[in-house]
Amino acid sequence: MTDTRHALIIANDRYADQGLKKLKAPAQDAEALERVLHDPQIGDFDVEIVHNATADLMRRRIQAFFNDRTRADTLLLHFSCHGLKSESGELYFAATDTEPPLLAATAVPSQFVRGCMSGTRAGRTVLFLDCCYGGAFSRGAASVRASGEVHVLESFAKDEPASGRGWAVITASDSMEYSFEGNELAENSGPRPSVFTHAVVEGLETGEADLDADGHVSLDDLYDYVYSHVKEQNPHQTPKKAAELQGELHLAHSRRGRIKIAAIPSPPSLQAALGSDEVLTRQGAVLELDRRLQHPELPLAEGARQHLEEIARNDIQQIAGLASEVLGKIRLSPSPDRLDFGMVPRNSTPQKRSVTLHGPPLARHCVAQPKQSWIRVDPTRNGLDVRIDTTAEGHLSGDIMLKGVADEAVLHVEAVVAAAREPDRTKPRPQPPPTPAEPTPPSDDRRDTVIIEPTRPPRPPKPPPSTPAPAPARQARPDRPSPSRRAPALAGAALALALASVATLVLTLQRATVAIIERGDQGVGGNVEDNIRAYGALTPLIVCLITGALALAAGAYARHELETGREHYAKQAASSTHTLVSVAKGLAIPALVLAVLAGLAYLVGSPHW
């Protein structure tokens, strides 16, 4: 979000006048709304809360909120309180010191709020009204009475602001409807979130309000989401909206869509190969894209992925199938895909369960979003750690959504939280040795969304020259290379095998050429099969096929070793390994293709010549 964003939340739940019913939701709603609006990954608003303020303080804070703004500012004002209508038909917002017979002196008129909205220089202004209108007051209160229908939007939709790019008003209800707190307006029920504000918070926090999945929650997205959820909870409550806006207003970021990475395009030479008329050239370009797809630099890998997706859609079946097979390497593959914590004592700290994400760095780069608030997720180098909140008893069943650049997966979590057993005090228990304290899970119940990035861990600092290095606990086997040399050694072996394959192919072609020339000199009585066997052309051909296949296998294993143990390799060693493997593939694949063609020619042609 490039604009400066400010929010003011006014929440009044206690009133001096006995006729105004105490509300249960405003304080809780204000905290929840402040959390999602202030979160830089969601709303990125600068948020201020005014709780149980007098009418004078409310007017001061509201006017100060709208003053000294610029067109780069987006303002959001949220009311959670009683709404009252005077006998003359004007709407007022109740303060803690409001006296219903003296509304003009002790409440905040909607005309005052509308005037502040019209006079501000802010680019865009949004007003949320989660207010109880009309009959939402204590029964039998003589000091409070409803005076006809309220029609809230009419109090704000009369004048367009003098400056800025527009305004919008969304109300929890209109006319004589209640703005419900929970499922009822009971006097003795515990604190419950307002249906309207709860839907706003849930839609922004989970990203489900991003109905078009474009990565942003627009004003229209949020209203449609809130409207459907409020009507589902309470059919008699109808949210309303009025707006005068230029363009689309994005209220929050959304993680509902997949991760987007700014791609680095492939080099022009590779793009030219992808557009070649030669099938083998395009096939080689796909293999090069496969190599780039596994690169640790995510923008470079993303550029290769986009090219591969285009090939999979538009090329011939042979090339498209190869591209699709390569794209399969970046599918999300969590292991395990189901976590069962079993029986867990209440209020205990269960052990963490680790989940490994397989595949190249681009496949491991994803967003982990718990669908239930009791699931805790922490990113690790190769995946994530999962914990659960054990404050409530019962059977827990939930999911963690994993969303990558091109794939989604679901990780299922199960647990049974039971009451902790009373300790047996008749026998002394041996004290276990002290263990490092586990980090305490966060106390709030928000659904944390975690971005998992396949970063390389920092290397440990080298000891100073004067400090002798500690002796290793176990001597490495002399016949097995250390992890830091294994991948380069395999890459070197792959290159040697590829060179051997090319050499034996050349030898095969030389001997076959001499055999064919001699067969031509023999005339009708000659047999090319005897000549080829006499000159020993078949043996190097078989050796060529074997060494070429071994070269490809050694190269693939070298890359696997490099990816799984990247922390053991210096940058130069990793670069050398990639170079050696690429050269080995470039030699081995053509040698294998020509060797297969030569073998087929021998099998098909020798009986007839």
**96-124 per-position pLDDT tens digit:** 999 988 999 999 998 899 899 989 999 99
To the nearest whole percent, how much of the chain has pLDDT over 90? 19
Within a domain: 472: no
Higher pLDDT, 81 or 259: 81
pLDDT of amino acid 134: 41
Within a domain: 138: yes
pLDDT band at 478 (very low <50, low <70, confident <90, very high): very low
Are 149 and 277 part of one and the same domain?
no
Domain span at 544:
483-608
Are 287 and 338 part of one and the same domain?
no
pLDDT of residue 33 exceeding 90: yes
CA 485 to centroid of chain Cα atoms: 35
- pLDDT tens-digit map of 310-340: 898 888 988 999 999 998 888 888 999 899 9
Q: pTM for the whole thing?
A: 0.46
Mean pLDDT of the chain, nearest integer: 79
Are 359 and 487 part of one and the same domain?
no
Within a domain: 277: yes
- pLDDT tens-digit map of 208-245: 888 876 678 899 999 999 999 888 888 888 888 888 88
pLDDT of residue 67 exceeding 90: yes
The residue out of 187, 222, 253 marking a domain boundary is 253
* DSSP line for 472-520: PSSPPPTTS--HHHHHHHHHHHHHHHHHHHHHHHHHHHHHHHHHHHHHH
Within a domain: 503: yes
pLDDT of residue 131 exceeding 50: yes
Within a domain: 470: no
What token pair was written down for 8?
């003011």
pLDDT of amino acid 6: 96
Higher pLDDT, 462 or 306: 306
Within a domain: 390: yes
Output the domain CATH number for residue 411.
2.60.40.10
pLDDT of amino acid 53: 95
pLDDT band at 383 (very low <50, low <70, confident <90, very high): confident
Are 362 and 288 part of one and the same domain?
no
pLDDT of residue 43 exceeding 50: yes
pLDDT of amino acid 69: 92
- pLDDT tens-digit map of 139-170: 333 344 444 455 566 656 555 544 456 888 99
Beta strands 46-51 and 4-11: pairing type? parallel
CB atoms within 10 A of CB 352: 17
Q: Yes or no: say if 217 and 209 are a contact pair by the CB < 8 Å rule.
A: yes
3-state secondary structure labels for all residues of 435-482: CCCCCCCCCCCCCCCEEECCCCCCCCCCCCCCCCCCCCCCCCCCCCCC
pLDDT of amino acid 54: 96
CA pair distance 600, 582, nearest whole angstrom = 27
Q: Please tell me the total count of domains within the chain.
A: 4
Are 342 and 304 part of one and the same domain?
no
Q: Which helix H or strand E contains 413, and what residues bound it?
A: strand 408-418
Are 352 and 316 part of one and the same domain?
no
Q: Yes or no: say if 369 and 206 are a contact pair by the CB < 8 Å rule.
A: yes
Q: Yes or no: say if 215 and 228 are a contact pair by the CB < 8 Å rule.
A: no
The residue out of 212, 230, 253 marking a domain boundary is 253
Find where tokens 């202004």 sit.
125
Are 321 and 403 part of one and the same domain?
no
pLDDT of amino acid 372: 84
Are 211 and 296 part of one and the same domain?
no
Higher pLDDT, 529 or 457: 529
Within a domain: 363: yes
- pLDDT tens-digit map of 542-568: 988 998 899 888 888 888 877 776 656
Are 132 and 238 part of one and the same domain?
yes
Name the most confidently modeled range: 35-44, 129-138, 437-446, 598-607. Answer: 35-44
The residue out of 308, 330, 352 marking a domain boundary is 330
Output the domain CATH number for residue 69.
3.40.50.1460
Q: Any idea which of 75-89, 104-118, 329-343, 456-470 has the lowest mean pLDDT? A: 456-470
**Residue 329: exposure state from Cβ atoms within 10 A (0-12, 13-18, ≥19):** middle
pLDDT of amino acid 515: 76
CA pair distance 89, 158, nearest whole angstrom = 14
pLDDT of residue 299 exceeding 70: yes
CB burial of 58-95 (b: ≥16 within 10 Å; e: otherwise) equals: bbeebeebbeebeeebbbbbbbbbbbbbeeeebbbbbb
Find where tokens 């294993």 sit.
557
Find the length of the chain.
609
Are 323 and 403 part of one and the same domain?
no
Q: Yes or no: say if 231 and 238 are a contact pair by the CB < 8 Å rule.
A: yes
Within a domain: 154: yes
Are 323 and 338 part of one and the same domain?
no
Are 110 and 240 part of one and the same domain?
yes
